[in-house]
Each structure stands twice: as structure tokens, then as C-alpha cells.
Chains A and B, each alone.
Chain A
Amino acid sequence: MRSRVREFDSSTLNESVQNTIMRDLKAVGKKFMHVLYPRKSNTLLRDWDLWGPLILCVTLALMLQRGSVDSEKDGGPQFAEVFVIIWFGAVTITLNSKLLGGNISFFQSLCVLGYCILPLTVAMLVCRLVLLAELGPINFMVRLFVVIVMFAWSIVASTAFLADSQPPNRKALAVYPVFLFYFVISWMILTFTPQ
């Protein structure tokens, strides 16, 4: 889903399909850039879309597959787990921030939380590459370092966007569930071992 700021309805009702595709792709790409270089800005909040979170969620869930993907029993659980944790976790955090009196809309919050999973997806990619080498304490230390750095990046990126929408005395209460959410995902990434 997307939101858009528009001036005239005729200009977008009659635009070509290619324009629509390019506009949406550019918006998704811009948001990824914003997550990689977080600064306080409103663009992530004004024009929300859920394509980035969907792509990241599916990529992360696929990378967290354990063992062979041929038999039905092996692939299902981890994929469903990751999917459910990410989406239910994001919905719960959004409800929490709305109950605390934040003035951010439901889909905006889902958008920010989903896009800020990007650093952790990169961490997962790096971990999978590192796991191709032999297992050992050095391997674990490298993975731990990468995951901690990316976890901190996710937290910084999401609080840069979400903190402004909360009343000042409730900021810690709103940020704490975000911390837990990314911690659980980081834990899943760190404890992943392919069999």
C-alpha cells in the first residue's frame, strides 16, 4: 500500500503505467537510502508504503531457512515464525505507541519499523557468508560484532523517525518495545546455524 501527496487528480489518473512504476520504485529506493543514512526527516513518514517491509521480511525469512528446503516439514516453521514475529511485533509496537498518545498513523509506523529491518537483513547476509567458513569462536565473535553493529544501526534509524511522534515524557516507553523487537530479530540471526 502507498500514500501519495498529490496536486491534481487528472495528472495521476491519466499517467502512463511506466510513470507509476518508476515513481513507486524511486520512492522505495529513497526510503532504503534514508534508512542507510538516517537523519531526522519526514519523508519516510509522509509517503508510507509497505513494499520495502514485505521484500525485507520475505528475504529474511528465506535466509533463515534451516536445512534442506525439499521436505515440507523443514521449511515451513522457520518461515512462518519469522513472518509472524515481524508482522505481529510491528503491529504490537504500533498499537503501543498509539496507546501512549503518539500522533503517528498505523501504516506509517509499520512502514518505519519494516524499513529499519534493512540493517539486520544485511547482517543476516554477512552471517550466512561468514558461516561458509569453518565454525569456531572467531567465527562467532565476527558474527556477534556484525549483528551488534547492525542492531544499533536499526535502533538509531527507527528512533530518528519515531521519537518525534511521541510526547517527550513517554519517549523511553515508546522506544523500549522497538528495542525488544529488533533484539528478538538479532537473536534469531545470531543463533542461526545451517544444518
Chain B
Amino acid sequence: MLQQDSNDDTEDVALFDAEEETTNRPKKSKIRHPVASFFHLFFRVSAIIVYLLCELFSSSFIACMVTIILLLSCDFWAVKNVTGRLMVGLRWWNHIDEDGKSHWVFESRKASSQESKTVSEAESRIFWLGLIACPVLWVVFAFSALFSFRVKWLPAVSLVAEGTVSQCWAVTAGCSLLQAVVVMGVVLQGANLYGYIRCKVGSRKNLTSMATSYLGKQFLRQIVVEIQRCRGPVFAFS
């Protein structure tokens, strides 16, 4: 009986291990795409740095704003088309069929047993960290730009009182370019964040159903073991 139990236990352990290896993706902690990881963070972080330190970089306000716009666009394209695919195997895009209706497609790479296609944990962490932290910062900048706009109105009001309306317009329009750039940052990075979260949620539905079926199987196995343990003494008595 004891031997039977131990056999059952070892059999359970072996089955447990075999199941785990096929259902869970083996996670590695080395970075397989260093260039992609670098560029994923480079464009986002440099856009934020240029925004914060624009006075230091160049005396021309316009050059800073154009640089930020270009960095934000490059970041949007790179994250949407390249780094998402390479680092976490997710992609989202818009598809227009013949009727002219637009569909948003969110796809994720299916779990495969091939070594090269599995998701590395370090890369996944870098990806999601960069994806979530930067839009949050841009939202913070948006709020601060909103409030500093009010502060900038005070000298503008005094300028109007002195009659220099053109300078007042210049100051407020300068503010509005800053806010336009911040809004653009929020929109572009927020769109990528939303797209990838939807990709992830879509793929997690498959993971959830796999997890529930796996747990269901484990539960059934435990019940069978318990029944066999209870039956053991019955057989001994009979």
C-alpha cells in the first residue's frame, strides 16, 4: 500500500513536471534582441529628456519642439512595428476590408516549442516597463503644462494692459505649441499602450482557458488519488 502510494506520488510528480514544461513557456532571462531593446527605450527616454532640458540643448524653441515631434513619431513606429514583434511577440494594426469598414486587429504569437520564438523574461520586463512608464510621464507633463499655461497668462495680461497684443499672442501661441507636443506625446504613446494591452488581454484569454483546464485536470487527478487511498483499506478489510 505504501509502495502504491509512493508510486502514485512519484507518478504524480513526473506527470506534473511533464505537463508544466509543455504548457508553460520556458522563460529565459537573457536579452535576445539588444538592438531592439535599446531603441525601444532610446526614443522614448530621449523625447522626455529633450522635453525637460530644452533650454539647455538649443536656444531655438522650434528646433526642440520639432526634435520632440520627430522622436515621438520614430518611437511610435518602432514600438508598434518592430520592438513589440521582436520582444514580446505581439502586434496590432488596422485593416480595411472591401466594404470600407475598418477593423482593428490584435494578434499575439502562439506559444510554440521552438527555442528562438519564446519570450525572454528580461526583454518582456524591459518592454512593459518602457511602455507603461513613459505615457504616465507624458500625462504628468500634460497636467503641468496645463497649470503653467495659467501662470503664463499673468505676464500676458500685463502685456495687454501695456498694449503689446502681438507679444501676448506670441507667448500664448508658444504655450500652445508646447501643449500640442505634449498632447501628441500622450496620444501616440497612449495608443501603443492601449494596443499592446489589448493584444495581451486577447492572448491571456487563451492562457486562462489553458490554466483552468490544467487546474481541472489536477483536481480530477487528486480526487482519483483520494478515492484510491480510501479504497485501499476497504480492499484490505475485504
B contacts, CB < 8 Å to A: 36, 59-63, 65-66, 69-70, 73, 76-77, 80-82, 85-86, 89, 91, 93-96, 99-102, 107, 109, 117, 167, 169-171, 173-174, 176-177, 180, 191
Docked-complex contact A104 and B170, CB < 8 angstroms? no
A contacts, CB < 8 Å to B: 1-6, 9, 12-14, 17, 20, 24, 45-48, 51, 54, 58, 62, 65, 69-70, 72-77, 79-81, 83-84, 103-105, 107-108, 165
- Neighbour of A4 across the interface among B66, B93, B101, B167, CB < 8 A: B93
Complex formed: what's the CA distance from A45 to B61 in Å?
Answer: 36
A58-B69, A75-B61 in contact; A13/B91 too (CB < 8 A)? yes
Complex formed: what's the CA distance from A54 to B117 in Å?
Answer: 35
Tell me, rounded to whole Å, the shortest Cβ–Cβ distance linking B64 to chain A: 10
Across-interface contacts of B100 in A (CB, < 8 A): 45, 103-105, 165
Docked-complex contact B82 and A17, CB < 8 angstroms? yes
Docked-complex contact A76 and B94, CB < 8 angstroms? no
Docked-complex contact B96 and A3, CB < 8 angstroms? yes
Complex formed: what's the CA distance from A24 to B180 in Å?
Answer: 26
Tell me, rounded to whole Å, the shortest Cβ–Cβ distance linking B80 to chain A: 8
Tell me, rounded to whole Å, the shortest Cβ–Cβ distance linking A115 to chain B: 16
Docked-complex contact B91 and A80, CB < 8 angstroms? no
Tell me, rounded to whole Å, the shortest Cβ–Cβ distance linking A164 to chain B: 10
- Neighbour of A84 across the interface among B89, B169, B176, CB < 8 A: B176
Docked-complex contact A5 and B95, CB < 8 angstroms? yes
- Neighbour of A77 across the interface among B73, B173, B180, CB < 8 A: B173
Across-interface contacts of A108 in B (CB, < 8 A): 96, 102
- List 19 A-B pairs, Cβ < 8 Å: A2-B81, A3-B94, A9-B91, A13-B85, A13-B89, A20-B82, A45-B96, A48-B94, A70-B59, A72-B59, A72-B174, A75-B61, A76-B170, A79-B65, A80-B174, A83-B180, A105-B96, A105-B102, A107-B94
A58-B66, A73-B171 in contact; A1/B94 too (CB < 8 A)? yes
Across-interface contacts of A6 in B (CB, < 8 A): 93, 95
Tell me, rounded to whole Å, the shortest Cβ–Cβ distance linking B86 to chain A: 8
A6-B95, A48-B96 in contact; A75/B173 too (CB < 8 A)? no
Complex formed: what's the CA distance from A105 to B76 in Å?
Answer: 21
Across-interface contacts of A83 in B (CB, < 8 A): 177, 180
Query: A interface, by DSSP: helix, strand, loop or mixed?
Result: helix
Across-interface contacts of B169 in A (CB, < 8 A): 77
Tell me, rounded to whole Å, the shortest Cβ–Cβ distance linking A33 to chain B: 20
- Neighbour of B170 across the interface among A4, A12, A51, A74, CB < 8 A: A74
Quick one: closest A residue to B65, CB to CB?
A: A79
| Supplied contacts A72-B59, A79-B62, 17 more A-B pairs, CB within 8 Å | A1-B191, A3-B93, A5-B95, A6-B95, A13-B85, A14-B85, A17-B86, A24-B77, A24-B81, A46-B96, A51-B73, A65-B62, A76-B62, A76-B170, A76-B174, A83-B177, A83-B180
Quick one: closest B residue to A108, CB to CB?
A: B96
Docked-complex contact A69 and B63, CB < 8 angstroms? yes
Docked-complex contact A70 and B60, CB < 8 angstroms? yes
Docked-complex contact B107 and A13, CB < 8 angstroms? yes
Chain B CB within 10 A, most for which of A13, A20, A73, A165: A13
Across-interface contacts of B36 in A (CB, < 8 A): 17
Docked-complex contact B167 and A9, CB < 8 angstroms? no
Across-interface contacts of B76 in A (CB, < 8 A): 1
Across-interface contacts of A17 in B (CB, < 8 A): 36, 82, 86
- Neighbour of B177 across the interface among A12, A46, A76, CB < 8 A: A76
A69-B63, A73-B170 in contact; A79/B93 too (CB < 8 A)? no
Quick one: closest B residue to A87, CB to CB?
A: B180
Complex formed: what's the CA distance from A104 to B99 in Å?
Answer: 10
Docked-complex contact A73 and B81, CB < 8 angstroms? no
A4-B95, A104-B100, A107-B102 in contact; A75/B62 too (CB < 8 A)? yes
Docked-complex contact B91 and A12, CB < 8 angstroms? yes
Docked-complex contact B174 and A73, CB < 8 angstroms? yes
